[in-house]
Structure 1
């Protein structure tokens, strides 16, 4: 296995080998999970900046602490309305989207 990995020179090549080329089902699933994780990390960072616990944030939006935990760990596929509620009402921040 080590010899096989010596031929991988870029992170993209690693992803291609492990999850398949861009556009394949396995690669798409990986990319969706990676984005969910990144969004969760952003929410966690903003929650900490607001000096809130997961339980306090959950209380502000009428959710359970376990729900906030699942979002922050990238294990929950949340709706846009929930994301909006978390950011705007829970954290008191504004949300902007950029499509590239």
Structure 2
């Protein structure tokens, strides 16, 4: 914990450790996966709207279903990497780059 004068401030990492367990724990890993799925969904929704496309139009362009696009945008789908590439690159004309650290 960080201290400033008489106040104690909990860092975000400490909050996550307390709520979901330390990095590497099953509960924390599940949380991290869900958080990333949510983030991907938000990026997809934003890029689709910037392209002035409906979920139905994007689904048609990429050979998926509107309900699947909706599930991704809401962070409720475990998307395959090949599908992610197809939706962003073929459907939205965006390049996908992965970074491993």
Task: Please give the TM-score of this superposition, normalised by the length of structure 1.
Answer: 0.88
Give the whole-Å Cα distance in 1 for the aligned partners of 2:67 and 2:39. Answer: 18
Aligned partners of 2:75, 2:90: CA distance in 1, in Å? 21
Match of 1:52 in 2: 53
1:35 offset after TM fit, Å? 0.6
Please give the alpha-carbon distance, in whole angstroms, between the structure 2 residues aligned to 1:58 and 1:33. Answer: 23
- Residue 21 of structure 1 aligns with which residue? 22
Between the aligned partners of 1:7 and 1:55, the Cα distance in structure 2 is 50
Aligned residues: 95
Aligned to 2:66: 65
Moved over 3 A (4+): none
CA distance in 2, matches of 1:95, 1:45: 15
Q: What residue number does 1:3 align with?
A: none
Calculate the TM-score normalised by the size of structure 2: 0.87
Separation in 2 of the partners of 1:53 and 1:43? 12
**Matches of 2:38 and 2:9, distance apart in 1:** 25
Q: CA deviation at 1:62?
A: 1.4
* CA RMSD of superposed structures (Å): 1.5
Gaps of 5+ in 2: 1-6
Mean CA deviation greater in 12-21 or 26-35: 12-21
Segments of 5+ residues of structure 1 without an aligned counterpart are 1-5
Which structure is higher in strand share? 2
